[in-house]
Amino acid sequence: MEPTVTEEEREFKIGHPDGSTSTIKGKVITTDHHETDADGNPKISTHIALSGPVMPVHILNPESEA
Amino acid sequence: MAVVTHLYTIIVNDSLIGGVAWTTATVNCALFSASTFTAADTAYTTSGTEVASANGYTTGGGAVGTRTLSTASTTPQLAKITGAFGGGSAGTTTWTATGAGFSAVAAKLYIVSGHPICNVDFGGTQTASGGGTFVITWDATNGVLNAASS
């Protein structure tokens, strides 16, 4: 049997120390290989793909805040 | 089921005082079975519960390998992970789960013998087992850390 692949696109929320949030795109891909090891454990794989910086740092120029 | 990513206050402070040697420090990625993000944490293990050493995972996680930084004249500065842990392709961190495997709800990047960098909450329990892989792919275009002035 061919592996069953479940792909879910997600928005990854980024929390900042000041309480604000931003988001990046990404997805979680789960694969059921429909195989088992010698002890009968199912072969399952997970892939988390991040599409964006998980740590954006913005250094403010004081003049831009005036 | 959203994935939530948090950054630590202390790593922002480190960035400003020059305490982060992004390209030369040893940076590990660790998996957590219970995750609580506390911005004031100064060690990656302070909050949450790391996945136990068994079935393909070893506490402490794995060294993510080579990291790069934009040239000095470039903005924003992009700090990327281009190395590989666990035998996967460039820019991936991989564990191969044996037996019953393991589950994780979050990952943390941290500097070995240093401070935590960021916490990635998967928004739910993710599992690998029976010879399957648990892979995190870091963004190859935007990097992990994106620092810009404004």
- What are the extents of the domains in chain A? 4-65
For B81, the 3-state DSSP assignment is strand
Say yes or no for a CB contact (<8 Å) between A17 and B129: no
Is B149 within a domain? no
Can you give B2-31 as a three-state secondary structure string? Answer: CEEEEECHHHHHHHHHCCCCCCCCCEEEEE
Is B107 within a domain? yes
Per-residue pLDDT band at B146 (split at 50, 70, 90): confident
Per-residue pLDDT band at A65 (split at 50, 70, 90): very low
Is B125 within a domain? yes
| pLDDT greater than 90 at residue B61 | yes
Q: Which residues of B touch A8 (CB under 8 A)?
A: 1
Tell me the Ramachandran region of residue B29: left when phi exceeds 0, alpha when psi lies from -120 to 50, beta otherwise. Answer: beta
pLDDT value, residue B21? 83
Other CB atoms within 10 A of residue B55 CB: 18
CB burial of residue A1 (10 Å; 0-12, 13-18, 19+): exposed
pLDDT value, residue A64? 46
Mean pLDDT, all residues of chain B: 88
Closest chain A residue by Cα to residue B109? A54
Number of domains in chain B: 1
Lowest mean pLDDT among A15-19, B20-24, B80-84, B86-90: A15-19
Is B147 within a domain? no
| pLDDT greater than 50 at residue A66 | no
| pLDDT greater than 90 at residue B89 | yes
Q: Global pTM? A: 0.87
**A41 vs B20, more confident:** A41
Q: Is B137 on the interface with A (CB under 8 A)?
A: yes
In total, the C-beta contacts within 8 angstroms joining chain A to chain B are 151
Full residue range of the structural domain in which residue B48 is found: 4-137
| pLDDT greater than 90 at residue B84 | yes
Identity of residue B31: L
**A1 vs B34, more confident:** B34
Is B88 within a domain? yes
Q: Which helix (H) or strand (E) segment is A65 a member of?
A: helix A62-65
Q: How far apart are CA A43 and CA B14, in angstroms?
A: 41
Q: Is B12 on the interface with A (CB under 8 A)?
A: yes
Per-residue pLDDT band at B90 (split at 50, 70, 90): very high
Q: Which helix (H) or strand (E) segment is B120 a member of?
A: strand B116-128
Is B145 within a domain? no
Closest chain B residue by Cα to residue A14? B5
